[in-house]
Amino acid sequence: MMLEEAVSAADCVALQLANDADRYAALGHHLRSTAFHNAVTVARGSSDHASSYLAYLIMARMGRLVTSLPMSLVTLYKAPLQAAGLLAVSVSQSGQSPDVVEPIHYFRAGGATTVALVNDIDSPLAHEAEWALPLRAGKEQSVAATKSFIASLTAGARLVAEWQQDDELKAGLAALPDALRRAAQTDWSAALEVLTPARNIMVVGRGISFPIALEAALKFKETSALQAEAFSGAEIKHGPMALIDEGYPLLIFATRGPAQAGLVALADEMRGRGARVLLAAPADVPSRDLELPVAACPDLDPIVAIAAFYVMAAHLSEARGLDPDKPRHLNKVTRTH
């Protein structure tokens, strides 16, 4: 199911893009006409990684600072957070967990603009938010989120495209389903030789590619029982460098943009230290080990990159003798307070 759902993400995104245009446009108009100084995201797990991608777009394009909320500040510590003039965006597949629902209720009651990007539009989260926008990924059977994550990234990019009224980003989104179909056919079999016997791995990104490094590390843990940690390319030379020795595997996502050159150089340096590097980069990077598919504009590249990764991750789980649809000790919906 994980593989089937990952491959189906292109159709889910096409369905999302074909719906709710007026609602996104109205939200974009509201965001442009409201003086937000900052924003906060409310999410867990893969949805939090999607929120990190949205936060990067908002900060880079709209100039607003974005914070990922530690939900316990609301649910346990009852902190007197100031909500007036705040944009609060929650991302969720199920919309069920109390520690996601309660902060949105709190922020809306305090005067914030609240947005829920949620797959289950009849969920408690959708009912609490002022603006609830369906991901339209359909029911997800696999415990490991794939198509809902890709739909979450897409919804975040749609929100920013309408807020900014950026025609290039809008055109890139329109072309995204075809880019995702191509991504699902990308051959990453070279990664299986390195990762099937591996015990641990570092996943590296920077800037707009860091959220997908976080997501890839989570999926390695969930579906392949592989101890994986994600690091920014700017941080790996601090403490993490001490762990890298001969044969240590590194997966580096070098998507297009200002951070790419540094990540390619990092891959070269780590090879010199004996690491087993898997550099995922576009076709025009000669030193790549895995080819990264690209979207119509660079800010959408992480969406097609993670689609290629998911296909490989499903095959890797099986190669390691596991069932990617039944990760150990995990449930589809997690409710925390």
Per-residue pLDDT at 238: 73
Give the count of beta carbons closer than 10 Å to the beta carbon of residue 196. 15
What region, left, alpha or beta, does residue 274 occupy, with left being phi > 0 and alpha being psi -120 to 50 degrees?
Answer: left
Per-residue pLDDT at 327: 67
Per-residue pLDDT at 333: 53
- Strand order in 113-118's β-sheet? 65-68, 38-42, 86-92, 113-118, 131-134
| DSSP 8-state symbol, 273 | T
| pLDDT tens per residue across span 79-92 | 999 999 999 999 99
Per-residue pLDDT at 335: 61
Mean pLDDT by 10 residues, the chain (337 residues): 93 98 98 94 96 98 97 96 96 95 98 97 97 95 90 98 98 98 97 96 96 98 95 83 82 98 96 94 98 98 98 96 75 57
Residues involved in catalysis: 332
Per-residue pLDDT at 332: 47
Per-residue pLDDT at 29: 98
Task: State whether the Cα torsion 252-253-255-258 is positive or negative.
Answer: negative
Token pair, residue 134, equals: 């369906």
Amino acid at the residue 241: M
Instruction: For residue 53, report the phi and psi dihedrals to the nearest 5 degrees.
Output: -65, -45
Which string of DSSP letters, residue by residue, matches 149-180? HHHHHHHHHHHHHHHHT-HHHHHHHHTHHHHH
Beta bridge partners of 252: 204, 279
Q: How far from chain centre, in Å, is Cα 272?
A: 30
Burial of 283 (0-12, 13-18, 19+ CB in 10 A): exposed
Q: Which residue has the tokens 């969920």?
A: 123
Instruction: For residue 134, report the phi and psi dihedrals to the nearest 5 degrees.
Output: -75, 140
Per-residue pLDDT at 337: 59
Per-residue pLDDT at 141: 85
Q: How far from chain centre, in Å, is Cα 129?
A: 21
| pLDDT tens per residue across span 265-323 | 999 999 998 999 999 999 999 999 999 999 999 999 999 999 999 999 999 999 999 99
Coil vs helix vs strand at 65: strand
93: which residues sit within 8 A by CB, 6+ positions away?
Answer: 46, 47, 118, 119, 120, 135, 137, 140, 145, 148, 152
Cα distances (Å, whole numbers) of residue 335 to 44, 125, 150, 209: 10, 13, 22, 28
197: which residues sit within 8 A by CB, 6+ positions away?
Answer: none
Per-residue pLDDT at 219: 96
Contact 1, 147 (CB under 8 A): no
Q: How far from chain centre, in Å, is Cα 333?
A: 18
Per-residue pLDDT at 22: 98
Q: pTM to 2 decimals?
A: 0.95
Contact 57, 299 (CB under 8 A): yes
Structural Rg of the chain based on CA atoms: 19
Per-residue pLDDT at 326: 75
